[in-house]
Amino acid sequence: MDKYNLFEKILLYSGILLFMTFILLPFVEMFYASLRPLDHLFRSPYQFFSDDLSFWAYGEMWNTVPMLGRYIFNSFYLASCVTIITILFVIPAAYSYARFNFPGKNSSLYLLLAINMFSGAVLLIPLYKLLRTLGLLNSYQAMIVPGVAFLIPTSIWLLKSYFEKIPIDLEEAAFVDGASRLQILRHIITPLSTPGLVVVSLYIFIGAYAQQFLFAITFNSKKEYMPIPAGLYEFIGYQTIKWNEMMAASLVGIAPVLIIFIFLQKYLVEGLTAGAVKN
């Protein structure tokens, strides 16, 4: 039995190690490429270790793309706005699905799930026409509104399942004390759902960060509104591509997501493990 458990652990940790290597290796290569001079990136044969590493690209990238700071700010701003607006819509919607029975409840839930089957690229043309009609093209709203629309369905499903784990007895006790439904949602359900809200908010933030490129190049043509994924194209010149600076800018661009994850990892773990143990 002990040998069987040992084999299980070895198999499990080997799988985790393989998976983490597959996920992290591109980031290691990006970081290593950002440290090397441009003319050394394509040495043949390829050399992973080198004695010419430096952080020169991290300083030079700001001169190559003067608006790089604005692009990074735009990405963070867009993702933050999408997260805040989406969570404001999702909280009451998820609570309604978790607590109320109404006609078409299950059908609408499955419809929300079916919406995620459509790729954003499929809806770009109708979205463009709609945003043009509303006069929202070439603005922050042109990237925020579609981002919110695409992230609401899955967020409702995630938060609904978390709300369902909160005992309804707490709400009934609050009703006895004269609390309204809105007060219960604000002062009881939301505070108790902090880990779940963090998980959903982080999912929304990362999703909003990832989908910016598609919306930016389709609905926006002004550089001052461009996020970092679109801004990286400025490292591509007529005759050369500054790969080391592009890799450095990419790593700096994902820093906000990494920082937020580090600070919220405690709540993230709590949210992901909530309900795993049955009382």
Task: Dump the DSSP string for 241-257.
Answer: B-HHHHHHHHHHHTHHH
State the number of CA atoms in the 13 A half-sphere of 140 facing the CB.
13
pLDDT at 271 exceeding the cut of 70:
no
Closest by CA to 231, choosing from 123, 71, 93, 113, is 71
State the number of CA atoms in the 13 A half-sphere of 19 facing the CB.
6
Domain boundaries, the chain: 61-273
In sequence order, what are the beta bridge partners of 87?
Answer: none
Q: Quick one: pLDDT band at residue 278, thresholds 50, 70, 90?
A: very low
Q: What is the mean pLDDT of residues 74-95?
A: 93
pLDDT at 81 exceeding the cut of 90:
yes
Element (H, E) at 31: helix 2-35
CATH architecture of the domain with range 61-273: Orthogonal Bundle (1.10)
pLDDT at 50 exceeding the cut of 90:
no
Q: Is the model more confident about 271 or about 29?
A: 29
Report the alpha-carbon distance of residue 14 to residue 246 in Å, rounded.
33
Report the alpha-carbon distance of residue 106 to residue 7 in Å, rounded.
43
Q: What is the pLDDT of residue 104?
A: 82
The alpha carbon of 62 is separated from its chain's Cα centroid by a whole number of angstroms, namely 25
Q: What is the pLDDT of residue 75?
A: 92
Quick: pLDDT tens for 236-251.
Answer: 877 788 888 999 999 9
Q: What is the pLDDT of residue 138?
A: 92
Task: Please report, rounded to a whole number, the percentage of residues in the chain having pLDDT higher than 90.
Answer: 23
Q: Is the model more confident about 81 or about 4?
A: 81
Q: Quick one: pLDDT band at residue 103, thresholds 50, 70, 90?
A: confident
Q: What is the pLDDT of residue 193?
A: 85
Both structure tokens of 165: 């784990």
User: Average pLDDT of the chain?
Assistant: 85
Q: Are 242 and 64 in contact (CB under 8 A)?
A: yes
pLDDT at 267 exceeding the cut of 80:
no
In sequence order, what are the beta bridge partners of 236?
Answer: 241
Closest by CA to 127, choosing from 147, 151, 154, 156, is 147
Residue 117, φ and ψ in degrees, nearest 5:
-75, -20
Q: What is the mean pLDDT of residues 115-125?
A: 76
Three-state DSSP at 16 gives: helix
Q: What is the mean pLDDT of residues 133-137?
A: 90
Quick: pLDDT tens for 175-219.
Answer: 888 888 888 888 888 888 888 888 899 889 988 988 888 888 889
Q: What is the mean pLDDT of residues 89-98?
A: 91
> What is the radius of gyration, based on Cα positions, of the chain?
23
